[in-house]
Structure formats: C-alpha cells, structure tokens
Structure 1
C-alpha cells in the first residue's frame, strides 16, 4: 500500500488486533500489559504509514508488537510468567517456583539480546513464524535470519547455563 492510499484503519485493527495481542501476550504473559503494548503498536503503525510504504500489515504489526513487548521487558515493567500458559499439567508449589524462576531468567536474557536477535528469537519460538516469514517481515535475507537466530540461541544458552551454575 502506498502512502497516498489511506488505509482502512478499522479494518486493519479488526484484522490484526488478535495477532498483535497474542504476540504481546506470549512475550509479556499479562493481558493488561499486552493490551497496553497493543495500543502502542497500532498508534505507532498509524504514524509510520504516513512516512513508510507498508507492504505487509501483518509483518509490520508483528514486528512492532515484538519490539514494543521487548522494550516493555527491558524497561523492567512487571509481567506474568512466559511459560505459565504453556504448562499442560498442574505443578506443585516447588514446580511453580522453578517455572517462575525459569520464565524470569528467560525473559531477562531475551531482553538483553541485541534487537534483531531478540526479534528473530521471539518470532521463531513464540510466534512460530518460518524463517521466510521473518525475513520478509524484517526485510532481511534468510541468511541474516539464520545467523541472528543462531547467535540468539548461543547467547541465551550461555547466559542460562551460567545462571543455573550460580543458582
């Protein structure tokens, strides 16, 4: 869509709000925080469309949701646990504590990654996007996506192993 064509904002919001919210929710684990981030994302997209040609609203909005959610984590805003919604069985109190600590450690470690690595990691593991989809969304090569993902995994593994040995 070019800048001269006015987008149908109600349609864009209706079509993409669930996906934007889901991205934020997967990263933040808090519906309240995800709603705040979703609002920021749509406001930023509205402002961006005036100066940028948007080829894919889905790609742009997922990318913005990922980046703004990671910013939220980096600012140290309180969030619920990342892994809570992935638990398929009830945990005992000790298991819940371990899960919470793991989620906190993962959230903090992802928040310390360089922006592109964090974005690629989140899009791959939380949004289950293909490398091709990520490359298109970020406007980079498949090789750049693969390299960023490899570096992110290496850094996260290193950080989480150090924390495990120290803890």
Structure 2
C-alpha cells in the first residue's frame, strides 16, 4: 500500500473541510475531495512529499478557489436569500477540523462577503495554519500579499460578528426553550426568546415556497414562523449541524428543512431555515 493510500483516511476530513469552508457547499466539497484524490494518485513522487496533509489541503484550496468563482456567479441569479449548505457533523464526529467556528453558518455567511483571495487566505491560515509561502502558491501572489489578505479578512469578519456568541450551555438552553414554545405555538414565549432586532432568513432557492427577503424584528419573525407551522405541524429535532446543536425540521416524517440559530445575551439574534431540497442532507451524511 502506498503512503497516500495509507494516510488518506486521516487527511480526507481536512481536505473536505478546506473545500467546504471555501465554497460553502457540501456537494462542491465532495466533488473537490474526489478530484484531489485523483490528482494525488496521478502525481509522480507524491509519497515523498514532506507534509502530505498540507499538500493535499493546498491542492483542495486551489481547486476550491476555481470553483468559488463560478459559484459566486451562480448566486447572482439565485432566487431569494442564499444560505450555506448545512453540514451534518453528527454527535460522534471526531474530526475537530469539521467542528471549529470557521465552519459555522454565521462565519460562512460572513465569508461570502470576502473576496475569493481573502477567503482562501483566511481559511488556509486560520483553520489549517498553512504558511503564507504555501498560500502564495495557491493564489499566485507573494507571501506578504497573502498575509495582508488574511489580515484584511480577519478585520472584516470581526466587524461583521461584533456580538459575543453565547456559551454552549446557554445556547442549548435557549434553543430547548425555543423548540418547546414553537411546537406549542406559544407566541408570547417566542417573543421573549427572540432579540428585538432578530432576523429570519429562509433559503428556498426558488424550488419551494420561502420568503424572498430577510424578515427583521421579533414580532415579524414570530408571525412568519407561526404562519408556516399553522399550515402543517412541524417537528424540530435537535441534531449536530456544522459542529453545533441545531434543528432538523420534519413534516409528516419527512425532512423538509434545516434550521440554524445564533444566540447572544440569552436570546436568539438570527434564525435561518434552509428549505432548498438540493441542500438538504441525506441520512448517510451524518458523519464525514
């Protein structure tokens, strides 16, 4: 067995993780993983590469950089708000590379506002500690320029995520209370759990009914949530998505959406629902 074949299972999560963070798409990331595997096997001398993990990650990043350009072009014509494709990580996910904050929904949304080079430089350095010299090879720029790209990306992200997220225990307490209030259709309780300036984003991609604009304000968000649940009973099932407990939404036993939320100061500040069938995970995707 070659070194590549022997070490690939250990490195695959990092390859997938880099591609997913850069593209925001599970499907694109899976395609990139397969492409990296094929390219690695076709390359002479790959078993002699000093740091195979870093080499595989940079190959994935280079391919993801190319994919990101076309993906951003497709999103120009996307119907309604666009949300990243949710990643089921599962309660037993053992790969830290799939669980840190750079793979969270809020972070992925903020990274959409970065230029492609900024996003690649930030992901490679922040999530994978890739040296700027290697990032320079991916982007075709100098190491100094890549350092500036990553620094600029960090400043933009810090400005876009000003509120400190809630600790895990507090977040899960708030979501548990939200789930109970939502399934009871308790309007007053829901209003108490939402920040006055809370937002609600739905991504239907033009394939299913969904709001075409982001809904803002606790009262309007609660009205929208309850209007949908009034048409048919929805069941929220806690699940680990992008490394955190979120909700899988079922209607009549069928997965119809994935909900993610941001919590700060004991209240939900942003609630998001991915409805686009093309983005919904299949059962086999519980672990990467």
Q: Same fold (TM over 0.5)?
A: yes
Q: 1:65 to 1:108 in 2, by over 3 A?
A: farther
Report what 2:33 is aligned to: 38
Q: 1:30 to 1:118 in 2, by over 3 A?
A: closer
Report what 2:94 is aligned to: none
Question: For the Cα contact (< 8 Å) 1:28–1:80, is it kept in 2?
Answer: no
Report what 1:120 is aligned to: 121
Question: For the Cα contact (< 8 Å) 2:23–2:29, is it kept in 1?
Answer: yes
Report what 1:86 is aligned to: 104
Question: For the Cα contact (< 8 Å) 1:30–1:80, is it kept in 2?
Answer: no
Distance in 2, Cα, partners of 1:154 & 1:84 = 16
What are the ranges of 5 or more consecutive residues in structure 2 without an aligned counterpart?
76-81, 86-100, 160-288
1:20-45 Cα distance to aligned partner (Å, 9 max, x none): 11111222222222111101111112
Matching of residue 11 in structure 1 with residue 14 in structure 2: no
Report what 1:96 is aligned to: none
Report what 2:148 is aligned to: 150
Q: 1:10 to 1:151 in 2, by over 3 A?
A: closer
Q: Which has the higher strand share?
A: 2
Question: For the Cα contact (< 8 Å) 2:122–2:154, is it kept in 1?
Answer: no
Report what 1:66 is aligned to: 61
1:52-83 Cα distance to aligned partner (Å, 9 max, x none): 95221111011111111111111226695289
Q: 1:86 to 1:156 in 2, by over 3 A?
A: closer
Partner of 1:75, secondary structure, is: helix
Report what 1:90 is aligned to: none
Report what 1:107 is aligned to: 112
Q: Greater CA deviation, 21-30 or 74-83?
A: 74-83
> TM-score, normalising length from structure 2?
0.36
Asked which structure has the greater CA Rg, the reply is 2
